[in-house]
């Protein structure tokens, strides 16, 4: 496996691969890799000739009061895990490489980025879309792999790829969960033992919604209230949002919809976690 730090070097490598007909797949990450990330790498390995994992803690998607400085960084371990999962290249640029002093232009995101996490984290998806566009250009990827746990991010990237006619297929990969149901996240390591136990309420609330859906409940308000009630029963949990939305537009789901996404963000202690469940 090859470790590359320079965007120019990676662009040369990817361009050579493209000329030879090689199918390039990219897995954009912020590092601190876990089984959720590795499932993306394996999916890329199954479908692509050259697999690139990017490891970059992107400063432009963090707000002023967020955890940029303490976000976990473990490049050596990330490279080992990436190689074991099938990566050919790990791309780990510096912030100065990605955003040189003369950098001026950002992706202007639209309505998909304005609700849910976009409302709680102004400017977040502007940073996400900008760095992903840069990574797609540098890697020349034909396929880019994103986890469904970050469902809004997935939809924002899908829309950007469509709007800008990018020659890339954005491939969704199902959420990977711990044995007890907690969605895997790099931020889970921030949780104390008591907080880790309390965090199970996210998946438990979504399980309840899925059971209600299976019994025929189609009212967005009733589904949302059920989820919120479960979460609010946990003293260590504070709801940021619970919303029942259309999975394509991310707008509030209509009464009687046959396909909805329940999306939630919950703060456990000082750690903000997200999760979702698609019901159809």
- Which active-site residues does the annotation give? 37
What is the biggest distance separating any 2 CA atoms in the chain, rounded to whole angstroms? 57
**Whether 58 contacts 132, CB under 8 Å:** no
Residue 249: count other Cβ atoms within 10 Å of its Cβ.
Answer: 12
The whole-angstrom separation of Cα 73 and Cα 55 is: 9
Task: Identify the residue whose tokens are 């977040």.
Answer: 124
172: left (phi over 0), alpha (psi -120 to 50) or beta: beta
Structure tokens at 55: 């490891």
To the nearest 10 degrees (0 to 180), the angle between helices 7-19 and 124-139 is 50
36: left (phi over 0), alpha (psi -120 to 50) or beta: alpha
Say if strands 89-91 and 2-4 run parallel, antiparallel, or are unpaired. parallel
**Whether 139 contacts 26, CB under 8 Å:** yes
Sheet order of strands, 237-245 included:
237-245, 260-268, 271-279
């Amino acid at each position: 496996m090859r470790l590359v730090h320079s965007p120019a070097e990676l662009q040369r490598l990817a361009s050579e691969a493209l000329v030879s007909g090689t199918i390039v797949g990219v897995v954009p990450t912020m590092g601190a890799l876990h089984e959720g990330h590795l499932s993306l790498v394996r999916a890329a390995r199954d479908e692509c000739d050259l697999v690139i994992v990017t490891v970059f803690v992107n400063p432009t998607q963090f707000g002023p009061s967020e955890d940029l400085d303490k976000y976990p960084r473990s490049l050596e371990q990330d490279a080992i895990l990436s190689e074991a999962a099938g990566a050919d290249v790990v791309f780990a640029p510096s912030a100065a490489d990605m955003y040189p002093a003369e950098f001026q232009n950002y992706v202007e995101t639209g309505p998909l980025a304005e609700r849910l996490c976009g409302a709680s984290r102004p400017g977040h998806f502007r940073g996400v879309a900008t760095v992903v566009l840069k990574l797609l250009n540098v890697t020349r990827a034909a396929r880019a792999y994103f986890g469904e746990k970050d469902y809004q991010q997935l939809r924002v990237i899908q829309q950007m790829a469509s709007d800008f006619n990018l020659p890339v297929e954005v491939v969704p990969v199902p959420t990977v969960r711990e044995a007890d149901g907690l969605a895997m996240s790099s931020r889970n390591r921030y949780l104390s033992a008591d907080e880790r136990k309390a965090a199970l309420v996210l998946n438990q609330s979504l399980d309840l919604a899925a059971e209600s859906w299976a019994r025929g409940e189609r009212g967005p308000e009733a589904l949302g209230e059920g989820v919120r009630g479960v979460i609010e029963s946990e003293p260590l949990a504070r709801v940021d949002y619970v919303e029942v939305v259309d999975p394509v537009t991310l707008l509030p789901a209509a009464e009687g919809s046959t396909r909805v996404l329940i999306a939630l963000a919950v703060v456990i202690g000082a750690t903000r976690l997200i999760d979702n469940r698609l019901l159809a």
